Homo-oligomer: A and B are copies of this chain.
Amino acid sequence: MIFNSDNVAGAAPEIVAALVAAATGPAMPYGADPWTASVEKKLAAAFETDDIAVFPVATGTAANVTALSAIMPPWGAVLCHEASHINVDESSAPEFYTGGRLVGLAGEGGKLSLETVERALRTIGQRGVHQVQPRVLSLTQATESGTVYTPDEIRALSSLAHEKGCKVQMDGARFANAIAHLGCSPADVTWKAGVDVLSFGATKNGCMAAEAVIFFGKDKAGDYANRRKRGGHLFSKMRFISAQLDAYLEGGLWLKLARHANDKAARLAKGLTALPGFGLLWPVEANELFVTMPPAVIDRLSTTGAGFYRWDEGSIRLVTSFATTDEEVGQFLSVAATAAGAAA
């Protein structure tokens, strides 16, 4: 009954099996191995384009900040949601890698609105060299609030950003959950919608430690390879990152795992909102729930051994994963019902 985070889960059996298989025999280091080559092919297929540059890394923070550093100058600003991971959970890694600044913007349900971004682009950096200049729009898909941008929303935001000389970076730590929700092609919410570079997350969704930085357009990668290396993020035995990604992409495993997580979140949402005094802060579109309830109920829930984080006052966050079972969902609904009743 641990719903603290999807990083609490282990690894999917298929991922584990792939690592075991990859462990024997020699392979050239630093990405010159067959697993890395296979990942590139599978991502090209999944994203319906050969014009991509793929760079495996091992943490989400590494994926985000190395990508940002490759697409902006050190006097640039990144427009992002104020609750985005780069803004609240990556220490000063963005400043360290980019040399520039994050500008956190407010937005309902973890999403940036066109109006908000338009205003920011219009007002930030007007005084030329005296100020940081917006150069990147960073979108999180799925968002930190468990919501999902539609292809239309991304297209409109990207179009605006490009008009103003910004690149578009997508933090896809939960990209699979977004695609599972939308049912669209990965291309529809990335390069076809104007995204320049994606942090394609896999760790939270069944891998051990594997992410891929994907530039949509080989020429957009610029000097990324040099920057990954100087960040200490180039793995000698790269095969062990790539083998995870390879299995993750094989036969649509990534979407299967994400659908599982999303489904459990939906079940939790359905069950919890049926309880008296319970509600949702935002629609449950991926694998995160933000549930409102009377403070006394939260206090009671805290004593049940159920794992979750308190959010703002009067709400908690629950995260499901590929490993969440119906039994766990049922257990949580049960203790929640008890807590709701007892508190009432």
Contact = CB atoms under 8 A, between A and B. Distances in A.
A234 B92 contact: no
Interface stretch (A42-50, A202-210, A273-281): A202-210
Given A10-B26, A25-B10, A235-B59, A229 B93 contact: yes
Given A19-B208, A209-B237, A223-B75, A93 B8 contact: no
B233 A232 contact: yes
A210 B22 CA distance: 16
A24 interface: yes
A58 B57 CA distance: 11
A319 to B, nearest CB: 11
A115 interface: no
Interface in A69-86: 73-76
A233 B26 contact: no
Given A74-B96, A234-B61, A131 B91 contact: yes
A10 B29 contact: no
A86 to B, nearest CB: 11
A225 interface: yes
A19 B22 contact: no
A7 B130 CA distance: 14
Chain A, interface size category, equals: 35 or more
A101 B88 CA distance: 11
A241 B59 CA distance: 12
A62 B27 CA distance: 22
A140 to B, nearest CB: 16
A95 B24 CA distance: 36
A28 B2 CA distance: 9
Interface string A185-220: 000000000000000000110001100000000000
A129 interface: yes
Contact of A93 (B2, B28, B93, B230): B230
Interface string A292-312: 000000000000000000000
Interface string A83-125: 0000011111101110111100000000000000000000000
A11 B97 CA distance: 31
Contacts of A13: 23
Contact of A23 (B76, B204, B208): B208
12 contacts: A8-B27, A8-B28, A11-B23, A15-B23, A19-B19, A58-B235, A59-B236, A66-B232, A74-B96, A93-B231, A96-B99, A97-B232
- In the complex, the 9 A-B pairs of residues with the closest C-beta atoms, listed nearest first: A62-B232, A7-B236, A75-B226, A208-B240, A61-B232, A11-B23, A91-B230, A129-B229, A7-B29
Interface of A: 2, 4-5, 7-11, 13, 15-16, 19-20, 22-30, 57-62, 65-66, 73-76, 88-93, 95-97, 99-102, 127, 129-133, 203-204, 208-209, 223, 225-237, 239-241, 323
Given A74-B92, A91-B130, 11 more contacts: A7-B29, A10-B26, A62-B233, A75-B223, A88-B130, A90-B232, A91-B129, A91-B131, A96-B99, A209-B236, A232-B233
